[in-house]
């Protein structure tokens, strides 16, 4: 994720210039939309027509949204400077759920970056966060909710689960998510700079440039490594590694129906990509960085792609500069959105839909927004939200189709 300032000096301004040029030339965004790995096939259904509605305003650099799956219907919104806020029944609570601004280094690509609630959180009353500390290193930590107030967490209850030294100040990753198997998955970037100078994406004795899979619920301190992790008994490999070959997996998510894993990996100078792992995978996929960027060899006209898993879709920097991964829609409100993976771009504000059919993958540009899209989020019911860093707004993604069943939003 590139927040505030694109590392190569091309941020929102560059994207706007490119879009303006395209408009003057009469080019349609649909004519230049991302390419799927296989030629898109005719679909049995049409694509949804997306629109947005403001759900909650006035957040300070919102970067993540999730729920606790505890039946409360609450939405938890992470603010990059170090707070987590609760929205309940359409109202943002005045007191933060958690405030650790005193130990978080912000901003650019650093800060408090995500929160994850374990299975059976309602009984456990503890949760996990991912942040960059004052030494500019990664911290994954557990915090406990106050026994007196379920809307308050105790900042002094912190238990450090994992720390990772970061050689540079960018490409920190930042995503935590519990998988369908109950294990905690962690997205770590390649450590930063440009071009992965230490080759961390392919190096197997480091956690950088990887998706990790650890067991934080076994009672073993600080965590256990699952016995079925792909490299747990492989010399020269860190046992925590679930997947490798990633540059900056800022946002990934599991399909709540199938367990499939979608990883949006932020590109270097040319291409952004979405990687896919089927729910039945045993792990160990190598997604190619820094051998490849998208479908293309990186810094070489030819490269050895044997053993690499190519992305299912890419787009070039005419359409954006920093991919933000989203979710497969599984909510009850919009049948035409069912099964569509929704993702976007931080720089251009575009939102695409991706889905698999009998012949391969198909991809479509669905919405242009003015948002600086830092994250998508999913509530307990499966409805999807998009976060705008620029104005601090959290917006619901809706379908404009005439057969939608969703009731009007309750706003403040």
3-state helix, strand, coil in the chain (%, to 5): 5, 40, 55
Q: What is the pLDDT of residue 25?
A: 30
What sign for the dihedral angle of Cα 213, 158, 189, 325? positive
What sign for the dihedral angle of Cα 399, 117, 59, 268? negative
124: three-class secondary structure by DSSP: helix
Distance of CA 120 to the CA centre of its chain: 23
Residue pair 329/371 in contact by the 8 Å Cβ criterion:
no
For residue 283, being part of any structural domain is answered with yes
305: three-class secondary structure by DSSP: coil
**DSSP code string of 321-342:** SSEEEEEE---SS-GGGTT-EE
pLDDT tens digits, residue range 17-64?
333 333 333 333 323 333 333 333 344 569 999 999 999 999 999 999
List the single range of 25-29, 137-141, 339-343 with lowest mean pLDDT. Answer: 25-29
Return d(Cα 387, Cα 77) in angstroms, integer: 9
pLDDT tens digits, residue range 157-178?
999 999 999 999 999 999 999 9
Return d(Cα 297, Cα 161) in angstroms, integer: 36
Write out the residue range of the structural domain in which residue 210 sits: 12-43+57-396
Instruction: Please compute the mean of the pLDDT values over residues 304-311 and round it to a whole number.
Output: 97
For residue 118, being part of any structural domain is answered with yes
For residue 408, being part of any structural domain is answered with no
Q: Which of 360, 330, 354 is nearest to 342 (CA)?
A: 354
Distance of CA 334 to the CA centre of its chain: 22
For residue 259, being part of any structural domain is answered with yes
Return d(Cα 278, Cα 376) in angstroms, integer: 21
* Interior angle at CA 377, CA 374 and CA 382, nearest 5: 160
Average pLDDT, the chain: 89
Q: What is the CATH number of the domain that holds 308?
A: 2.120.10.30
For residue 173, being part of any structural domain is answered with yes
**Structural domain count, the chain:** 1
Please report which helix (H) or strand (E) contains residue 374, including its range. Answer: strand 373-378
For residue 48, being part of any structural domain is answered with no
For residue 411, being part of any structural domain is answered with no
pTM of the model: 0.89
pLDDT at 261 over 60: yes
* Sheet with 112-116: strands ordered across: 112-116, 126-132, 138-146, 149-164
For residue 409, being part of any structural domain is answered with no
pLDDT tens digits, residue range 268-278?
999 999 999 99
Other CB atoms within 10 Å distance of the CB of residue 114: 25
pLDDT bucket at 3, cuts 50 / 70 / 90: very low
Return d(Cα 205, Cα 271) in angstroms, integer: 27
| 410 CB-near residues (< 8 Å, 6+ apart) | 89, 90
pLDDT tens digits, residue range 355-403?
999 889 999 999 999 999 999 999 999 999 999 999 999 999 999 975 5
């Amino acid at each position: 994720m590139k927040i505030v300032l694109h590392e190569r000096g091309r941020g929102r301004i560059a994207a706007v210039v490119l879009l303006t040029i395209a408009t003057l030339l009469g080019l349609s965004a649909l004519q230049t939309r991302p390419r799927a790995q296989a030629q898109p096939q005719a679909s049995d259904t049409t694509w949804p027509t997306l629109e947005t509605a403001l759900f909650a305003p006035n957040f300070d650099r919102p970067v993540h949204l999730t729920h606790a799956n505890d039946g409360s219907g609450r939405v938890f919104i992470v603010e990059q400077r170090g707070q987590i806020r609760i929205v309940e029944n359409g109202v943002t609570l005045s007191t933060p759920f958690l405030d650790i601004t005193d130990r978080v280094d912000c901003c650019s690509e650093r800060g408090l970056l995500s929160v994850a609630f374990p299975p059976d959180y309602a009984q456990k009353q503890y949760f996990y966060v991912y942040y960059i500390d004052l030494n500019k290193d990664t911290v994954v930590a557990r915090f406990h909710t106050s026994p007196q107030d379920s809307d308050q967490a105790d900042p002094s209850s912190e238990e450090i689960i994992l720390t990772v030294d970061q050689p540079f100040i960018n490409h920190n990753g930042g995503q935590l998510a519990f998988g369908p198997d109950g294990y905690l998955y962690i997205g770590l970037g390649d450590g930063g700079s440009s071009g992965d100078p230490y080759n961390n994406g392919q190096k197997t004795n480091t956690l950088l440039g990887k998706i990790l899979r650890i067991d934080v619920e076994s009672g073993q301190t600080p965590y256990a490594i699952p016995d079925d992790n792909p490299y747990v008994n492989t010399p020269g490999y860190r046992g925590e590694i679930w997947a490798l070959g990633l540059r900056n997996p800022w946002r990934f998510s599991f399909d709540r129906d199938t367990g499939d894993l979608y990883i949006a990996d932020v590109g270097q100078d040319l291409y952004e990509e979405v990687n896919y792992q089927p729910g039945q995978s045993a792990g160990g996929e190598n997604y190619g960085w820094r051998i490849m960027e998208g479908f293309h060899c990186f810094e070489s006209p030819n490269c050895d792609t044997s053993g690499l898993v190519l992305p299912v879709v890419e787009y070039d920097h005419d359409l954006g500069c920093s991919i933000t991964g989203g979710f497969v829609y599984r909510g009850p409100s919009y049948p035409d959105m069912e099964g569509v993976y929704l993702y976007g771009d931080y720089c251009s504000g575009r939102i695409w839909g991706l889905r698999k059919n009998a012949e391969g993958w198909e991809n479509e540009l669905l919405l242009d927004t003015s948002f600086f899209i830092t994250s998508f989020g999913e509530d307990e019911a499966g409805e999807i939200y998009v976060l705008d860093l620029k104005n601090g707004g959290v917006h619901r993604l809706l379908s404009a189709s005439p057969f939608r069943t969703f009731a009007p939003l309750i706003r403040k």
